[in-house]
């Protein structure tokens, strides 16, 4: 039920009609590309080690595009292992983990200017808990991450919108809870703001 509500609320049908992206076709290409590199649709340590070896120049000559793709793949695989690690759907090498890998790799392919940013995996994983259709999850995160109405520029290379919100939050905290603000800055060097915003971003809209 919740997944159906999100699907309608986000308007993913409209997003599909505006976007010329063949999800299933690109997933098939992903499988072929992984196979060509000696990788599988898995987040296992063996895959991560092989990607690191490939990036170090072993096995195959790599183009700039290959390097960018492999870096995204490695970061996604590493983050999936840290995403809801105690949730039953993400313990071990589950089909949900494989779906999460495909969804995030497809988003990185679709939005090449952003690629993949840490924190995206949590939102996609949460959607996969409630949506039975993997492709619907892809269209949902595309809508969430690319729409100004939701989280556009929260997840980009500079975390630009998150930095702006962090600055506003710091000023409000300093004004209303001066001692707490001083304590947090003294012990965390302001990084607590980004941590709070990354967690709240997903909760607020989901």
- Banded model confidence at residue 146, pLDDT cuts 50, 70, 90: very high
In the chain, the number of structural domains is 2
Are residues 190 and 98 part of one domain?
Answer: no
CA distance 171 to 167: 6
> Residues 100-129: what's their mean pLDDT?
95
Are residues 96 and 51 part of one domain?
Answer: yes
Query: What residue spans of 81-177 are helical by DSSP H?
Result: 95-110, 120-130, 134-146, 160-176
Are residues 106 and 15 part of one domain?
Answer: yes
Are residues 181 and 85 part of one domain?
Answer: no
- Banded model confidence at residue 188, pLDDT cuts 50, 70, 90: low
pLDDT of residue 95: 95
How many Cβ atoms from other residues are within 10 Å of residue 97's Cβ? 24
How many Cβ atoms from other residues are within 10 Å of residue 87's Cβ? 13
Q: Which of the residue ranges 48-57, 144-153, 163-172 would you say has the lowest mean pLDDT?
A: 163-172
| Six token digits for residue 126 | 């949460």
Q: Choose among 59, 38, 55: nearest CA to 47.
A: 38
* 130 CA to centre of own chain: 17
Residue 184 structural domain:
160-205
CA distance 99 to 137: 9
Query: What DSSP state is assigned to residue 151?
Result: T
Are residues 124 and 61 part of one domain?
Answer: yes
> Residues 17-30: what's their mean pLDDT?
96
Are residues 115 and 57 part of one domain?
Answer: yes
Q: Assess if residue 48 is contained within a domain.
A: yes
């Amino acid at each position: 039920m919740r997944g159906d509500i999100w699907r309608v609320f986000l308007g993913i049908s409209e997003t599909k009609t505006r976007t010329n992206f063949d999800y299933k076709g690109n997933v098939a290409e992903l499988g072929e590309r992984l196979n060509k590199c000696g990788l599988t649709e898995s987040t296992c340590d063996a895959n991560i080690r092989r990607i690191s070896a490939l990036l170090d120049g072993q096995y195959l000559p790599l183009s700039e595009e290959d390097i960018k793709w492999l870096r995204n793949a490695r970061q996604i695989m590493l983050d999936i292992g840290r995403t809801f690690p105690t949730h039953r759907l993400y313990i071990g090498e589950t089909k949900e983990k494989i779906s999460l890998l495909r969804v995030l790799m497809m988003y990185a392919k679709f939005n090449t200017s952003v690629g993949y940013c840490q924190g995206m995996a949590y939102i996609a994983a949460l959607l996969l808990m409630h949506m039975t259709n993997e492709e619907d999850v892809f269209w949902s995160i595309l809508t969430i991450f690319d729409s100004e109405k939701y989280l556009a520029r929260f997840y980009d290379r500079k975390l630009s919108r998150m930095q702006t919100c962090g600055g506003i939050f710091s000023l409000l905290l300093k004004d209303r809870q001066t001692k707490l603000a001083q304590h947090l800055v003294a012990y965390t060097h302001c990084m607590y703001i980004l941590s709070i915003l990354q967690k709240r971003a997903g909760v607020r809209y989901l």
